Amino acid sequence: MSRTRRRANRNNNHRKPHSSFFDIPYRPIVRNQWAPYEIAGPDRIAEIHDKSMQILENTGMRFMDEEAIDLWEKAGAKVDHKRQHVWPDRGLIEELVAKAPSSFTFRARNPKRSRLIGENSINFFSAAGTVFANDLDRGRRPGVQEDWVKLAKIAQMTNVIHIGPLQTVVLHDVPVHAKHLEMFLMASTILDKPHMGVSHGYVIPSDVIEMAKIVHGEDLKPELGPVTGGVVNVNSPLSYDDRMLGGMISFGRAGQFIVVTPFILAGAMSPVTMAAAIAQQNAEALAGIALIQLVRPGAPVIYGGFTTNVDLKSGAPAFGTPEGAWAFFIGAQLARRYGLPYRGSGSLNTSNVPDGQAMSESMWSLWPVVMSHTNLVFHAAGWLESGLTFSYEKFIMDCENLAMVEHMLAGPEWSDDAYSLESIDEIGTAGHHFGTAHTQARYQTAFYPNFLHDRRNNGTWLEGGGEDTAQRANRLWKEVLKAYEKPPIDSNMEQALQEYVTRRTKELENVALYD
Amino acid sequence: MSRTRRRANRNNNHRKPHSSFFDIPYRPIVRNQWAPYEIAGPDRIAEIHDKSMQILENTGMRFMDEEAIDLWEKAGAKVDHKRQHVWPDRGLIEELVAKAPSSFTFRARNPKRSRLIGENSINFFSAAGTVFANDLDRGRRPGVQEDWVKLAKIAQMTNVIHIGPLQTVVLHDVPVHAKHLEMFLMASTILDKPHMGVSHGYVIPSDVIEMAKIVHGEDLKPELGPVTGGVVNVNSPLSYDDRMLGGMISFGRAGQFIVVTPFILAGAMSPVTMAAAIAQQNAEALAGIALIQLVRPGAPVIYGGFTTNVDLKSGAPAFGTPEGAWAFFIGAQLARRYGLPYRGSGSLNTSNVPDGQAMSESMWSLWPVVMSHTNLVFHAAGWLESGLTFSYEKFIMDCENLAMVEHMLAGPEWSDDAYSLESIDEIGTAGHHFGTAHTQARYQTAFYPNFLHDRRNNGTWLEGGGEDTAQRANRLWKEVLKAYEKPPIDSNMEQALQEYVTRRTKELENVALYD
């Protein structure tokens, strides 16, 4: 052994154990360079458009907010103030939807973390809106702030998670009126990635926007792109309530984006047939997007798809289904028809444990969203139990698939050096390529570096403890958490955020948030 | 409650427990009606073709069989008898490959079970070539005939498995010289689905063809399509040994098909770069296919892809990787360029247990093969542990995904009745669609009927025993096995097969099978 080799080995032995989790690069942009997978022809897309316009023109939609009704009326739509009902015609809808940008930059506190939303970009965002936390050590329990902090730190350290957490778990130990304040503070300080805000009612969004101003400056410069965004799950069928509309109007007015997402379980919130569910999704999404354009023409919006079926034996939601895959594929096609960025979901499943079903079903949402050119992938990691639970282990398990997706989308290297006909000729018809100069020069970086999937043979695996995937993921999330480093933040900014939260927590104590 | 309803309920209560596993239909043909997903442009495909032709023209390939060398020489290729080496030029390769049919019918004993191989059809075949059997009750052990029989019965009862087993497990309790005889007898009598034969050397294929004649008649009528087929995994790099060539020549001569499959682990059997691995795959596959066309112009063949990477930390094979996905996608594109049916693999994984990793990795092969228009999907169910093991539980877990694929590929229903604008209008902006006439008329058959994935909420699931996916699959494969019914078979045919096996088992006792 040469002296150099010995020294290298010695250094290796003294080095801290290194998981290839940390070898996965942060990619400032991930694109799907290949054509989107489309399962409906242009005539079918035109037909869905026509049916959805018929729904808006004939059945109409409810908007439970006077300002929204006024906006529609001024724009010339047929409205009924008493019933809070609107029948927008297709000309108006198309004219308004055309004002929305086809892409925008979602700006982060750290400009290097800003993300393009639109075109053929893809962005991953971990599970949001979950209630419980679950890990192998402590089991399933209501989420608390400690979980939120841990999961935010893990998200910051995870290069395939591009967008910071929203409601990772419900903060059961924080008063209702302070949850949105605490979440925005934590997301702004634990991470330097872009992150969403809460967009319910009028009070909460105004706090979100005020806090965003502390981070990004008094003029949010919406012309450079939004610095926060909110999610609105339509109250399907065909209704937006006042909480939703408050958020849409507030965020729209401030030039911050809204993900308008009909959450349709076919058979419950729409007819049982997927054609109807998809047409209704389109009607609901476009009506919301059009309203936001009435508030502020050119406001950034995202067309959201979250349509799947119910389990008709139990009435429970069914996630990771063929029906859901159709809806993801066609939803993306519809968004492209309107020139809008598209949102889907990446790890939907109904399993109670991070097992084979959990991962099979998750791949029934991840593959469709990737192949359909979904720009913003919600719930890309950690979702369990139909979204009730955030699983620490499943987060890691999903991240392996996300990292593999990013690697796949980069595509193979094509060059004479990569074809390497010389190496093929050198080895000829016998022997193997392990030892060639060509292999030796590349072997450390040639392939996707798996960090969780275990390829050891049965004997070695058993000797190593015979851990299954969830058990290995349990060790890994702790390593990742331990490696957390707080990203730099201006101390005045952090103090101002903290003071805002303290002040508003007091002020909001007796305020009804959704009035 | 009406009298009719009461009677229906009573009948339900007395009915045997019914798994929706048995509701999955047998589909005589499964097509991917949508365009194949392509990740390489036409120029890239032309470049790969050119590089692979350079490999054949400059480096050439070894064919370790005198008859093969003679065939190449007569066709005008440059050969070296002593080195058993051939340098076919691109003109000859293209001329020969063009003689192969673009599709054919793989005929079964029961004509209703025959399958189209080619066009946009997709056919699933359970894991082949595995050594061990594994189930949750008995653990991992060397396979024996009892496992083979059980797994064949389960395959016969599983409507998403279209093609019968080959070497499901190694028959460790059957003498080497009798394994091929026993397997063909079992496959021909336990199932009525089409099934493969063993294609190694000259002795074994001649037995396979003789037994096929007992089932299908003395003239196998190859013009109607093959009744058996064999797999040849090329001895990469760039070499076909005498066992492979015996099978290729024997099956080719009899008009039975060969799946010509370079089994390339990039970094071991080819350069470490995927461009090189794919070009070499193409060279090896086309050379084998061309040789079969020299034996019998128009003989059915399948272009096989089984290219993935090694794990460069351990040298172990890596399955279910982004690199493997590229190879599946591009392999299908190459097969289409030559007008050949394509073979891929559906549930590749490296896990030691049927857990999250097993299913994630499996979906990294299933989605690519489905989207790329793979006609014959080997290893679609049951593969575990890099193919060393057939897992009873994983077979069921994979079958849920296969059934979902079939359902997805059928596509949604599009009709005015399916859009059901009347129901949307009927419910309007409030209430739900559970109770509408439209839902009630469809609720039993509206969606894919999951048989394994469990959508119960946490409480109900825990009360029901809190079983994970593999545990539920364990119960299910036993139910399926118990439900087995032997398909009708002519008793003379069965007796003739049995007599052939008895006679040949004696005759082959001291015969070297591969001379």
Residue of A55, A325, A407 with shortest CB distance to B421 = A55
Give this prediction's pTM: 0.96
Residue of A278, A322, A357 with shortest CB distance to B454 = A357
List of residues 6+ apart from B111 with CB closer than 8 A: none
Closest alpha carbon within chain B to A85: B429
Closest alpha carbon within chain B to A44: B414
Which residue has better confidence, B18 or B26? B26
Position B16 confidence tier, pLDDT thresholds 50, 70, 90: very low
Closest to A60 in 3D by CA, of B430, B232, B103, B283: B430
Flag if B359 and A359 touch (Cβ within 8 Å): yes
All residues of chain A having their beta carbon less than 8 Å from the beta carbon of residue B408 are 322, 325-326
Identify the pLDDT of residue B313: 79
Query: Which single residue is written with the structure tokens 């790890």?
Result: A347
Q: What is the pLDDT of residues B414-444, one digit of tens each?
A: 999 999 999 999 999 988 999 999 999 998 8
How far CA A398 is from CA of A361, B6, B324, B444, in Å, comes to 11, 47, 19, 33
All residues of chain A having their beta carbon less than 8 Å from the beta carbon of residue B320 are 453
Flag if B273 and A326 touch (Cβ within 8 Å): no
What is the full DSSP assignment across A332-382?
HHHHHHTT--EEEES-----SSSSHHHHHHHHHHHHHHHHTT-SEEET-SS
Preferred mutation among A310, A360, A391, A407 to probe B, highest tally of B CBs within 10 A: A360
Distance between B116 CA and the closest CA of chain A, angstroms: 23
Identify the pLDDT of residue B444: 85
Q: What is the helix, strand, coil percentage profile of chain A, to 5?
A: 45, 15, 40
Q: Evaluate if residue B7 carries a pLDDT over 70.
A: no
CATH of B19-411+450-515, one of 3.30.565.10, 3.20.20.480, 3.40.50.10540, 3.40.1000.10: 3.20.20.480
Query: Are A247 and A201 in contact, with CB atoms under 8 Å apart?
Result: yes
Reduced to 3 states (helix: H, G, I; strand: E, B; else coil), residue A188 is helix
User: Average model confidence (pLDDT) for chain B?
Assistant: 95
Closest to A502 in 3D by CA, of A143, A185, A167: A185
Alpha-carbon Rg for chain A, nearest whole angstrom, is: 24
Residue of A355, A433, A469 with shortest CB distance to B269 = A433
Question: In angstroms, rounded to a whole number, what is the distance separating the alpha carbons of residues A401 and A319?
Answer: 18
What is the torsion angle, in degrees rounded to the nearest 10, for the CA atoms of residue A493, residue A496, residue A502 and residue A508?
-100
Reduced to 3 states (helix: H, G, I; strand: E, B; else coil), residue B382 is coil
Q: What is the pLDDT of residues B195-248, one digit of tens each?
A: 999 999 999 999 999 999 999 999 999 999 999 999 999 999 999 999 999 999
Question: In angstroms, rounded to a whole number, what is the distance separating the alpha carbons of residues A118 and A225?
Answer: 12
Identify the pLDDT of residue A510: 87
Identify the pLDDT of residue B312: 77
Question: In angstroms, rounded to a whole number, what is the distance separating the alpha carbons of residues B491 and A367?
Answer: 48
Distance between A295 CA and the closest CA of chain B, angstroms: 23
Flag if B448 and A322 touch (Cβ within 8 Å): yes
Flag if B363 and A358 touch (Cβ within 8 Å): no
Flag if B425 and A353 touch (Cβ within 8 Å): no
Question: Terminus-to-terminus CA distance in chain A, angstroms?
Answer: 76
Can you list the positions of beta strands (E) in B381-461? 383-384, 389-391
Closest alpha carbon within chain A to B408: A322
Closest alpha carbon within chain B to A452: B357
What is A22-411+450-515's CATH number? 3.20.20.480
Identify the pLDDT of residue B386: 97
DSSP state of B25: P
Preferred mutation among A18, A357, A384, A450 to probe B, highest tally of B CBs within 10 A: A357
Q: What is the pLDDT of residues B336-359, one digit of tens each?
A: 999 999 999 999 999 999 999 999
Closest alpha carbon within chain B to A389: B458
All residues of chain A having their beta carbon less than 8 Å from the beta carbon of residue B269 are 432-433
Alpha-carbon Rg for chain B, nearest whole angstrom, is: 24
Question: In angstroms, rounded to a whole number, what is the distance separating the alpha carbons of residues B47 and B330?
Answer: 12
Question: In angstroms, rounded to a whole number, what is the distance separating the alpha carbons of residues B39 and B327?
Answer: 10
Residues of chain A with pLDDT under 50: 1-16
Closest to B404 in 3D by CA, of B433, B362, B375: B362
Q: Evaluate if residue B161 carries a pLDDT over 60.
A: yes
All residues of chain A having their beta carbon less than 8 Å from the beta carbon of residue B363 are 359-360, 363-364, 367
How many C-beta neighbours within 10 Å does residue B411 have? 15
Chain-centroid distance, C-alpha A394: 15
Token pair in block for residue B91? 């003109």
